[in-house]
Chains A and B, each alone.
Chain A
Amino acid sequence: MRYVIIGNSAAAVGCITGIRKVDKENEIVVISYEDRCYSKPMIADVLIDYPDEKLLYRDKDFFEKNNVTQILGHKAIKINPESKVVILDSNEMVPYDKLLISTGGVPFVPPIPGREKEGVFTFTELGSAKKFKKYIEENGVEKVVVIGSGFIGLEVAYYLREIGKEVIVVELLHRVLGKALDKRGSEIVETMLREKGVQFIFNNTVEEILGEEKVSSVKLKSGEVLKTEAVVIAIGVRPNVELAETARIEVNRGIVTDNHLRTNVPDIYAAGDCIECIDITDGTRKNLPLFPLAFEQGLIAGLNMAGKEITYLGGLPLNSLKFLEKPVLNAGIVEPPDSTYEVLVNDKFEKRGYYRKAILKDGKLVGFVAIGEIDRVGILTNVIRQKIDVSNIKERLVSLDFGLVDLPEEWRKEKLKEDKTAYKDWRPVG
C-alpha cells in the first residue's frame, strides 16, 4: 500500500495526520513543485523580512517522524488512473494505491490589458511574495496599487504601510471585505487601515495597466490615471483543478467529492482549496478556500484513505483578520440575506473598543462577528456548527461573557464528563 499526496500544504499535512492515526506502516509520498512546507497565510510577512524559518508550517522532523518521503521541486503534470501513476515534469512515474489531490488554489487574474508588464504581481505563494519583495527593493518602489480588498489585498496593503510604502487599494464594491464581513465590520476595518495610512478607491476598478516594460500607472474605469510603480492583483483565488482534469475527475465549483472526500475516480480523494464543499450554514456547494477547512478535509480524507470510514461534516466559512491591532473574527452568515433572519447587535466600538453581532434563523445561530474582544468566541462557532437551539438565550449571544453555562446542561455533561470530542461528536444535535 502506497499513499501519494499531491500538494504539501494544509490539506496535505491534515492528510498525513489522518493516515498516521490509522496506518503507521505504509509509505506516504508527498509531491510539490515548491521547496518546503510553509504556511501560506503567513507569506505577507516576507514584506517585513520575517525570518524564513519562521514561515515553516511543518519542518523536516515532522516528515521524518511520520515516515513521509517528499518529492519537492517537481510538478505533477498528469494522473493516469488506469495504471494508477502520477507523472511528474521530470517524466518520473510515481505509482499510488490511494491518491490525494490537494493542489490548492491559483490566483484569479482578470484579462486586464497590461497585466504581463514587469511590476505586476499576484500574492498567493511564497515564491510570488518573494519576487514582489525583491522587485520593490531593486526598483526602489515607493508606491503600489492593490487591486481588490479581500483578505489578501488588505494584508498586503497593511504590510506595505508597515515598510513605509504609499498604498492605494482599488475595490469594485463600495466597501472592504464586501463578501466576507458585514457593513459595520468593514467600516471598522476600513477605519483602522486608513489610520495606518492605506488609501481606498471604491466603486471602481483598474481597466488598464500602463507603462513601457515596467508599470508606470494604472487607468481606472472612472477614467482617472494613478501613477504607480507596482500593482498587486488580489481579486481572489480559484480552485486549481488542472491536474484533476487530466484524470477526467468531475469538476464543478472545484473538484467534486462525496461525503468521504472521494472523487468520482476510484482511489482518488481530494481536499482543500481545490474542492467544492458543502457550506453548512446554507447547505449549498461552493469553494471555501480556508486554512482550517483545508486541514480538516485533508484529515478526513486521510482517515478514509487508510480505511477508517468517516463522514465529512461539511465546511463552516470563518475568518480571522490577523494583522490588525484589534482582532476581527467572523463565522457563518454575517449579513442577513432576508427578513426571516434575526439580528442582534452589541456595538460598543467607539467607547469600549468592541463589537459583537449575531445572526439567527429559526432559533439557531447561523453567524456572528466579533471585533476587539474575542476571548471564547469559539463557543459561538460551535453553537453554529452543532445547530444548538438558542432561542431562550438570544441576548446572551452578543454578551462578552457568553459561556458554556448558557448551553444545555446535557451538552456540558456529554462534552465535559464523557469526553465526547471526537470528530463525529461535533455533528449537529438533535
Chain B
Amino acid sequence: MSKKRKLMKVYPIEENCISCRYCEVACTMVHSETQDPVKAYKLEGLLPRATVEVKGAVSLSLMCRHCKHPFCLDACISGAITQDEDGRVRLDEDKCVGCWGCVLVCPFGAAHPHVERKHSFKCDICEDRGFPACVEACPNRALIYDFER
C-alpha cells in the first residue's frame, strides 16, 4: 500500500494561477457532445469538473485528487464510484443515483452535484482523450500532468 502507484493526474500550482478559468471552459467543452464551450454550457447544461477558487491574491484550480483513501468510495450507495488497481477513482454517471453522499464527504469539494440531472460528476483525468484538457488550456503552467507523489 505504501508503494508508489503508477497514476498520472493533474496538479495545481497556485503560485502560477491567474484565475483566468480557461481550465474550467476547456473541461466543459471536451466533456460535451457538441465540443463547443458555449453550447456545452447553455444547451447541454454541463458544468466544469475543475473549480477555480479565488481569495485575494491567491487562486488555484482544483479537481479530483484520486485520493489514496477516497471517502467518496465509502459513501457511494449505488456502486457508481470505484477505484482501479492503479488508484484512479471512477464515477459512472449512469449508475449514479444522485444521493450526494460523495459531495458530502469529498475533502476537496471535487465531486460535484448536478441537481437537475440527478447525478454527480468529477474529474476523469480526460481518460477518453489521453491528455487532460485543462492542462493544455492553462496559459501559465498553473496545472501540470504528473505522476502521483
Contacts and interface: CB of A to CB of B under 8 A. Distances in A.
B37 interface: no
A39 B104 contact: no
Contacts of B59: 405
Contact of B74 (A14, A54, A331, A417): A14
A40 B79 CA distance: 11
B75 A291 contact: yes
A14 B79 CA distance: 12
Nearest to A383: B107
Contact of B1 (A22, A326, A401, A406): A22
Contacts of A282: none
Interface stretch (A167-175, A240-248, A419-427): A419-427
Interface residues of A, number: 54
A379 B71 CA distance: 12
Contacts of B58: 405
B71 A292 contact: yes
A96 interface: no
Identify the 5 closest CB pairs spanning chains A and B, nearest first: A376-B109, A382-B107, A378-B106, A421-B67, A405-B55
A215 interface: no
Given A56-B79, A295-B73, A405 B60 contact: yes
A57 B112 CA distance: 21
A22 B1 CA distance: 7
A416 B11 contact: yes
Interface in A382-430: 382, 385, 401, 403-406, 412, 415-419, 421-423, 425-426
A41 B69 contact: no
Interface in B76-104: 77-79, 83, 95, 97-104
A175 B31 CA distance: 44
A113 to B, nearest CB: 36
8 contacts: A318-B105, A327-B115, A376-B106, A376-B109, A405-B59, A416-B60, A421-B69, A426-B107
Nearest to A416: B12
A426 B1 contact: no
B49 to A, nearest CB: 12
A21 interface: yes
Interface in B1-20: 1, 11-12, 14
Interface residues of B, number: 44
Interface string A363-386: 000000000001111110110010
A385 B148 CA distance: 24
A422 B68 contact: yes
A375 B106 CA distance: 10
B69 A422 contact: yes
A58 B55 contact: no
Contact of A376 (B11, B73, B112, B149): B112
B78 A42 contact: yes
A358 B2 CA distance: 36
B148 A419 contact: yes
A57 B113 CA distance: 20
B101 A404 contact: no
B36 interface: no
A292 B113 CA distance: 18
Contact of B77 (A21, A42, A299, A421): A42
Given A327-B113, A421-B69, A374 B100 contact: yes
Given A39-B77, A418-B149, A379 B109 contact: yes
A292 B105 contact: yes
Contacts of A327: 100, 103, 113, 115
B54 interface: yes
Contacts of A329: 100, 103-104
B100 A417 contact: no
B99 A320 contact: yes
Contacts of A56: 79
Given A21-B1, A320-B101, A405-B55, A415 B108 contact: yes
Contact of A423 (B55, B69, B79, B98): B69
A192 to B, nearest CB: 14
A378 B71 contact: yes
A197 B28 CA distance: 38
A22 B113 CA distance: 33
Contacts of A2: none
B109 A417 contact: no
Given A327-B115, A421-B68, A58 B79 contact: yes
A41 B80 CA distance: 14
Interface string B100-144: 111111111101110100000000000000000000000000000
B62 interface: yes
Given A376-B109, A378-B108, A419-B149, 7 more contacts: A17-B73, A40-B77, A320-B103, A378-B71, A405-B53, A415-B107, A422-B1
A340 B59 CA distance: 35
B108 A404 contact: yes
B32 interface: no
B99 A41 contact: yes
